[in-house]
Structure 1
C-alpha cells in the first residue's frame, strides 16, 4: 500500500533526477534554496498540500511561487490569496515582473485586472465569494496559495480562510504560508483532515541572525549577557539567556532613586558595531536622539513601532523640529521626484487637509510615519522609498507587521504595552516575535537588531522572556454568519451544512480542548471550597449578606448611569439652544471658564459651538466636555465678520466679554431646571436594600470586610468556573449548534422557511437568495433595510451616504444625541435601520448569538458630501476622521454598493442608483491606485 511517506520519498527521488520542474525552477532563481524551501517544493511536486510555517523574511513565498510555476507547467490556473489589498497589489506587481501582464490578473473587490488570467492574485474574500457563486473562473484551478494563513485567527475576518479551505475542490492543492506558530502540528493536522495529504514544514531558523538590545539614554546595551542571536537564545540552555548584569544594576538604581548615572555600555564583540563611552547616562532618550544613536551604531534603516497613530505623527514632527536630516543631497532629490509624482495625482486644494507638506518635509529628511490613518498613496510612497533605501526611519503602528514587504536593519519598540481598544495591555511573546521579525534584510544585512527603549518601569527579565520565546498559537475565530449559513444551506441542505461546519478548525480545536478544561474545573472547585471556608461568619449566612451587598452596588451603579444619561441629554439640549453672543460658563472636563459663543455648528450630528475664552483662546465644545447643561449668564454682540484668526479680534471680544460680566446683564431667558437624580423607583429600591443590609446579622461582624474580600473572590471564581463548565457542556457540536441558532433568526425574519421533519425540504426565501450576495459584518441588517424598500427612491449620493451607516464603525464609542441627516430620505432610512437593528438584536439575544453591530451615522455626512463632489476638506470638516480612514471606509462603501448592484431581481431603480453611487464615490483620492503605474 502506498503511504504518504512512500509517495513523498518517491517524489523526492524523482525530483532529484530532474523528473519534475523543480530543477528548472531552481535554475530561474538567483539564490540557493534553503532546506525547508526545498522540502516544501518537493512536497508540492509530489501532489501534496503544504503548510509552511517560518519566520518573517525566511522566504516562504518561494514555495508559493513554485506552485505557480507548476500550475503553468501543467496547464492549470493558480490563485494567490492575501489578507489585505496592499499585499495583493504588491504580489501582483512581483508576478507581473516575472511572467508579464498577459498571464497575471488581480481581483481585490474594488479592482479587476485580467481576472481570467492563468495566475490571479486576490484577497481571500474574493475567492470565498467565487466559491459560493460557483464562478466559472474556478475552472482549471489547480493550486491555491494562501499567504499569511495565520490571519484566520483574526476576530473579524479570520473565518473566510476556513471557508475557503473547506470549500475548495478536492483536486486543488492548497499551499498555506504562515508565520511561525507554536501549534503548527495541530493546524496541519486539521488541514490533513479536511484537504487530504498535507505536509507540515516548520522552520524556526531565521536566515538573518537577530540580536536583542535595550537603549538606555541613547546608549545601546545588549539584552543578554552572552553574545547570542534569537535562534541561539530560543533553543539554548538557560545560562545562555542570562540578562546582561549591567541592565540588572540599572533596575536597582532606578528603583532606589540613586541619580541618573547609569551603567557603562559594552561595545559588541567580533567587530559588529559600536563603542559606548562611560559618560554620565540619562535613562530617557528623545526620538531624534534615538535615531541619531541608531545611525551612529550603523543600524539604519529602522522601523520604530509606536502603538499610536498620533504618536507616529508626533515622532515625525519632533524629528523635523529638531533639524534632523538623514539623507544626502542626491537622496533628497530622488525623494522629491517621487513626491512630485504623487502631488500631480492629487487636487492641489486637498494637499493641506491631507497633511501633504509635513509629510513631504519628513520624507525629504529621510523619515516618515506609516499607519492606517495615512492616505494609501502616501503609505505606498513610504514603502517604496524605504525599500529603495532612501527613507531611513519609519515610525509605524503594529498594522505594518502584517504582510507588506518592508524589512529593516533594526526594529525598535518604543513601549512593551499597547491599547487594545479597552485597556493598556502588555504585548505577547508572539507579538514581540512578529514585530521584531522584520529586522535583518535578506541579501543585504548579515544580522538584524531588535531594540527596546528603556522606560522607568522596564524589567530586563521580562524583556528577555519575550525575546526568548516562540509562543504564537493559532486559534480559530470561525463562526457561522447569516450569509455563510444561507450559502451552505443552498448548496448542501441544512443537515449536510451542519456536517460541513463540523469540519472547521474551530470545532477541531474545541474537541481537543475539553480534557484540559475539565482539569481546570477540578482545580477551581478545590479553590472554591477554600474560599467558602474563609468567608464563613459565625453570626449568620454571609453568602446571603454578600448577595445583598452586590445587589445594592448594582442598584447604585444603575442609578448613577441614569443620572449620567440625564446630564448628557441636558448638556446636548443646552448646546442646541445657544446663540451667537451668549456668554456661558464651561465647568466640565475642559474647565474653560466663562466664554462667549462665536459660531454655531449645527450641520453635524451633534452641536459643537465655537467659543472664545476670557484668556482669548478659540475652542470648540461638545457634550463630552460638559458635566451638565451650560447656563447662559449674559449676552454680547459679536462684531460682523468676526473670524477669530486675528489676535486683535480675539483681544477686543474678550474685553467685551469681561465688561458684560461686570455689568451683570440679565440672561436671554431663564434656564430650565434639571433634576439629576435617579427615578423614584430606583431611590426607593436603594433605600430598602440599605435597610435590609444593616439589619442582617453579619453586618455587625468585626471581621465583615475580611469575609467580604473572600466572598468577592469566591463570587468571581464561581462565575469563571460556571462559564468554563458551560463551555465544556457546549463543546460537542459547538459550531453546528451556532448554525442552528443562526437558522432560527433567519426563520424569524423570513429568510429561511421553518425546517420540516425532512431537513432536505428546507427552503430559502427570495429574500434569503438576495442575502446570499451580501457579505459583511452587518449582512442581515443590510438586507433587512433593503427589503423594506427604504433605499429604492434614493438618489445616488443619498444612497452612498446611507450605506456608510451599514459599513462604518467608529474607533471610539459616540454616545451623542441622534444625528441630523442630510435629507428626509436618509432620515427615514436611518430610522428604519435603527428600528430593524433593535428587533434583530433582540432576536439575537434570545438565540444566544453575538449582537450585530448597530448602524453608525459617523460617516453619513462625509460620504454624502463626497458623492456630491465636495472637496476633501469640506467632507472631513467637523469629524475626527483621518484622510486614510476616509479612503478606506469609502472603498468599503463601494464594495457594498457593488454587491447590491449585482443582486439578481433587485429593484431596477436601486440597482441603477447603486452603480451611479459607485461612480460618484470612486473619484479623486478614493480612486487612486498605483497598481497600473
Structure 2
C-alpha cells in the first residue's frame, strides 16, 4: 500500500483521523477533513501529492492567500526538490509545468474558466483552508472550483473544525460524488484556559471537578470568582472615594490592566513564552511593541541577537537604503533583536516574513498581532493572549464569537514541542469570568456559503455551458443547497402554523361567522394604514430625491436630523434621479456624501457661498477653512422643518372601512374584547404565514433568478447577443477578475482610458481597486487634466451602471475611490517613497508601507488584466509600462 510507504517517510506516527482520510483517498474517494488548527491536516494533502507523483499524474495544492502558498511551496520543495514543484500566485510564476504546483485558489479558478492546458493530467486537488468559502468577499471562488473541476479529479478538502461538517459533506457528495467526511475534534495539544487578573494568573475552569468526572459540566474556578468579587468591591470603594490631591481614578485599587511589558515578563516567569498577543488594531500592535521597547524588557541572549540580525539581513538586504528610515526599519530591527515584534497587514511583507521565520525558530518570543495571523499562517505559540473580547468588524465594535475565540486560541500549543497550550484572557473592568467561559466552552462554528453569481462568473458560465446548464450548476451550489434545506424547515413551520390558524378560526365560530368577518375587517383597516404609511414614505423620499438633484455647487443647505444636522455646503452635486448622493461639507468640518435618507423633509438652498475651483476636502486644513467660511456666511439653519401631511388623514377608503367597523354588529357585542384578542392572534399568525410563504418563494432558485437578471443587463449592454452567445465585449469581460469587473469592461469598451500616460492609467485603475479606511470619495480629480477627465468619465459610467443595477435589482458595483490616485501616480512617475506614502495617507497620517505595497500589487494585477484585454493597443502598451513603473523599490523587492 502507498500509505505504508508514505507513513514510513514521516518522523511521527499517523493519528487516527489522518490514517482514515489517507486510506479513503488511496481507495479513490474524495475526502473532506475537518480538524482543529495544528492537528496536522496538511499531512493528508501531502499524501495526495504522493499519490499523484507515484501514478505519474499532477497534483495542485491550493491555499487562500499568497503567504500560505509561499510557505507550502517551501515545504514541498524541501521534500520533493525544486524540479517537481511549482508556484503560481498571480504575480509569481515558478516552474508552472511541474507535476506539483502550489497556487492560490483564484489562480485555479481562472485556469478552469480558461480551459488551461496545464489542467491535463490532473488527478488530485488539495483545497487547504476550504472553510474560506464563508468569506463574504472571496468565498465564491472556492465553490466555483469545486463545481467546475472535472469529475475524475479527486478533491482533498481541508477545513478548520465546523459544526455543520456533515451538511458540507452531504453537499460535496452531491456535487463531487463519493466523498468521505472525516471529523476530528480532539486537539493534539491540550489547551488550558486562563484569566490574568493584575499579576495573578488563574485557571478559568476548576480542573479538579473535571478530573473526578470528565463528563461533568465545566465549572469556573472558585479562586478566580472570589478574587474578581474582591476586585469589584475595590472598584466600587474607589469610585465612592472623593478625588483628593493628585489622585486619579482607580489608582489606589490597582484595578487597571497590567502594562504589556509586565504581562510578557509575567508569562516569561511562568514559562509560557513564546506568546502571541492578539490586539484588534494595527496601531495597537505597533503601540504595544513601542511600549515594550520603552521598558527594559529583553527576551534574547547576545548569541540569539546575532542570529536574528543575520536573518533580518537575508530578508531585507535588497531594500533601498534611503527608504529604511521611512519604513521604520531601525525601530522594527531593535524590537526583533530584543525578541519582540508586531505582525499585521500594514507591515511591509519582507518585515512580516522575517517575523514569521524568527518566531518559528524561537528567536522572537513575543508577537503582537491582529487576527489575520490566525488565518492559516504557520506561527503556533505556547500561549495566546487576548487583551479584549471585542473587535471592530468594519462597521461596528462587536463581541468575539465562540468561533472567532476558538480560531484565535487555536494557535496555542506547538506540536512536537509543547505538551500543552495556554489561552490567557487579560481581565479588564467589566469582563466577567462567565463571559470568557461561554466563549471557551462553545464549539459552534457553522459554515455558511457566500456564493453569489457575479458578472465575470455569469459570462464565463454562459460561454462554457449555455444558460440552461449554468442555471443547473448554480442550483447545485452550497449556497442553494443550504437555502433549500432552510426551505424544508420553513415549510414544516408553515404547516404547523396553518393547523394553529384552523384552531383560532374555530374559536371565532368558523369562516362564515360574524366574529371572523369582524376580525377580517380590522385586518383590512390595519393593512390600509400600513399601505398609506408606506406611500407617505415613498412620497417623502421622492420629494427628497428631487430636491437633492436640484442642488448646485456652492448651495448652502440645512441637514435636519442625525449626527450631521446643521448647515452644509454642496461641494459636488449629484443629479442621479434614483439615488443622488451629493458631496457636502458641514459646519462641523465633516466632508462626505449625503442621501435622501438624511432628509425627512426636502432639502432647500438657504443661500450660496463661493468655493475654490478645486476643493481638496480630504485635507484637514481645507475642511477647517471651508467650515469657518460657512459659519461666517450668516446663514442660519432652520430650527423647524415642514412635514408632509399624512395620506391617512384624507383617504376615503380608510374612512369607509372605519365606518363599517363602527357599524358592524360585533362592535358593540359584550365579548368583543375577548374575541378581538383571538382575532388579533389569528391575523398576526396569518401575516407570519404569508411572510414565510414569500420567503420560500424567494429562496427557491434564488441564485438562478439573480443569474437571469445579470444576463438581462449584460444583453442590454452588448455583452451577450440575441442568440445568447458571448460577444467580443463579453469575451473581454470573461478575462477581467475584479470586484468592479463590468465597470472595467465598460471603460475599455468606451475608450475611457485612451490617451493616458502609464502613470495616469495607473491612477485611474487604482480608483477601481482601492478602498479608503475612511469614507470613500470621488472629489479629488487627480493631478493632471487627462487623468481628471478619465476619472470623471469613469464615474459617469459607474453612475449609469448603478442606475441599471437598481432597475434590475442587482447588487451595486461599489463607487470608485480616488484615495490612492495621486499616490500611485507619483510612484509610477518615480517620486520618493516618503512623499508617496504621505500623499496616500489620510488626516495627515502617512499610509503604512505594507498597505502601500498591497495596494500597488492590486493595481498591478488589474493593469495586467487591462494589458491582456484592452482593445486599444495604446492602452495595452500604457498598462504594461505602468506595471514596470510601479514594480520598483519596496514593491519590486516584495514581488520577487
TM-score bucket (shorter structure):
0.7 to 0.9
Question: How far apart, in 1, do the equivalents of 2:885 and 2:283 lie?
Answer: 31
The Cα offsets for residues 362-407 of structure 1, whole Å up to 9 and x where unpaired, read as 2122111111111111111111111110111111111111111000
TM-superposed CA distance for 1:250, in Å, is 4.2
**Secondary structure, counterpart of 1:621 in structure 2:** helix
Measured after TM superposition, the shift of residue 463 of structure 1 is 1.2
Matches of residues 187-266 of structure 1 in structure 2 within 5 Å? 187-226=168-207, 237=215, 239-257=216-234
Superimposed CA distance per residue, residues 106-150 of structure 1 (whole angstroms, 9 cap, x where no aligned partner) = 100111111111110000000000001000100111110000000
Counterpart contact for 1:218–1:290, Cα < 8 Å: yes
**SS of the residue 1:175 aligns to:** strand
Q: Provide the C-alpha distance between the structure 2 equivalents of 1:214 and 1:344, rounded to a whole number of angstroms.
A: 42
Name whichever of 94-103 and 328-337 sits farther off.
Answer: 328-337
Partner of 1:266: none
Shift of 1:739: 0.7
Contact map agreement 1:605 1:820 (CA 8 A) in 2: no
Structure 1 residue 850, shift from structure 2 partner: 1.1
Within 5 Å, which residues of 2 pair with 1:280-359? 282=255, 284-359=257-332
Q: 1:411 is matched with which residue: 384, 387, 397?
A: 384
Say whether the 8 Å CA contact 1:260–1:282 is kept in structure 2.
no
Q: Hey, what's the Cα distance between the residues in 1 that align with 2:168 and 2:630? A: 65
**1:606 corresponds to which residue?**
616
Partner of 1:685: 643
- The residue matched to 1:199 in structure 2 has which SS? strand
| Shift in alpha-carbon separation, 1:688–1:729, aligned structure 2, 3 A | closer
| Long gaps (5+) in structure 1 | 1-19, 262-278, 530-537, 574-584, 591-601, 610-619, 634-670, 698-713, 755-760
In 2, the alpha carbon distance for the partners of 1:630 and 1:225 equals 62
Corresponding residue SS for 2:103: strand
How far apart in 1 are the matches of 2:268 and 2:775? 41
Segment of structure 1 superposing worse, 334-343 or 200-209: 334-343
Seen in structure 2, the aligned counterparts of structure 1 residues 570 and 929 have a Cα distance that, compared at 3 Å, is closer
SS at the partner of 1:793?
Answer: coil
Provide Cα deviations, 1:256-315, integer angstroms capped at 9, x if missing partner.
556689xxxxxxxxxxxxxxxxx9974621111111111111110001111111111111
Query: The residue matched to 2:448 in structure 1 has which SS?
Result: coil
Task: State the secondary structure of the residue aligned to 1:121.
Answer: strand
Partner SS, residue 810 of structure 2: coil
Q: How does 1:573-652 map to 2 (within 5 A)?
A: 606-607=616-617, 620-623=620-623, 629-631=627-629
1:64, distance to aligned residue in structure 2 (A): 0.4
The aligned counterpart of 1:151 is 132
CA contact (8 A) 2:615 2:622 kept: no
CA 1:896–1:632: 2 relative to 1, 3 Å: closer
Task: Give how far 1:517 is off.
Answer: 3.7
Q: Give deviations 1:671-716, integer Å, cap 9, x for gaps.
A: 64545459xxx944358899999xx99xxxxxxxxxxxxxxxx999
How many residue pairs get matched? Answer: 788
| Alpha carbons 2:231, 2:255 under 8 Å: kept | no
Q: How does 1:651-690 map to 2 (within 5 A)?
A: 672-674=633-635, 676-677=637-638, 683-686=641-644
Alignment check: 8 A CA contact 1:51 1:188 kept: yes
Counterpart of 1:139 (choices 89, 108, 120) is 120
- 1:35 equivalent among 1, 4, 16: 16
Secondary structure (helix, strand or coil) at the match of 2:354 reads helix
Residue 469 of structure 1 corresponds to 442
Worse overlay, 723-732 or 500-509 = 723-732
Aligned: 1:48 with 2:54: no
Please name the residue that 1:173 is paired with: 154
Shift of 1:906: 2.5
| Alpha carbons of structure 1 residues 739 and 258: separation in structure 2 relative to 1, 3 Å | closer
User: SS in structure 2 opposite 1:858?
Assistant: coil
CA RMSD of aligned residues (A): 3.8
Structure 2 counterpart SS, 1:102: helix
So what's the TM-score if we normalise by structure 2? 0.81
882-891 or 355-364, which moves further after superposition? Answer: 355-364
Give the whole-Å Cα distance in 2 for the aligned partners of 1:45 and 1:387: 32
Structure-2 change in CA distance of 1:861 and 1:428 (3 Å): same
Q: Secondary structure at the match of 2:381?
A: coil
Correspondence 1:421-820 to 2 at 5 A: 421-518=394-491, 559-560=559-560, 564=564, 567-569=567-569, 606-607=616-617, 620-623=620-623, 629-631=627-629, 672-674=633-635, 676-677=637-638, 683-686=641-644, 726-754=694-722, 761-814=723-776, 818-820=779-781
Aligned residue in 1 for 2:243: none
Give the distance between the partners of 2:367 and 2:231, measured in 1 at CA. 30
Answering whether residue 865 of structure 2 is matched by residue 906 of structure 1, we say: no
User: Structure 2 CA distance, aligned partners of 1:340 and 1:129?
Assistant: 36
| 1:397 has 2:359 as partner | no
Distance in structure 2 (CA, Å) of the matches to 1:31 and 1:715: 66
- Tell me, in whole angstroms, the C-alpha distance in 2 between the residues paired with 1:481 and 1:723: 28
Q: Report how far residue 52 of structure 1 moved.
A: 0.7
- TM-score norm. by structure 1 comes to 0.78
1:819 touches 1:857 (CA, 8 Å); kept in 2? yes
2:828 match: 867
Distance 1:899 1:456, change over 3 A: same
Cα distance in 1 for partners of 2:316, 2:533 equals 64
SS of equivalent residue, structure 1 residue 569: strand
Give the distance between the partners of 2:31 and 2:409, measured in 1 at CA. Answer: 26
Unpaired runs of at least 5, structure 2 = 239-251, 505-521, 545-558, 574-585, 592-611, 659-681
Task: State the Cα deviation string for residues 507-557 of structure 1 (Å, max 9, x = none).
Answer: 111111113345677999999x9xxxxxxxx9x989988999999999699
The answer on whether the counterparts of 2:536 and 2:646 sit within 8 Å (CA) in structure 1 is no
C-alpha contact 2:617 2:779 (8 A) present in aligned 1: no
Contact 1:107–1:120 (CA under 8 A) maintained in structure 2: yes
Cα 1:748–1:350 shift into 2, 3 Å: same
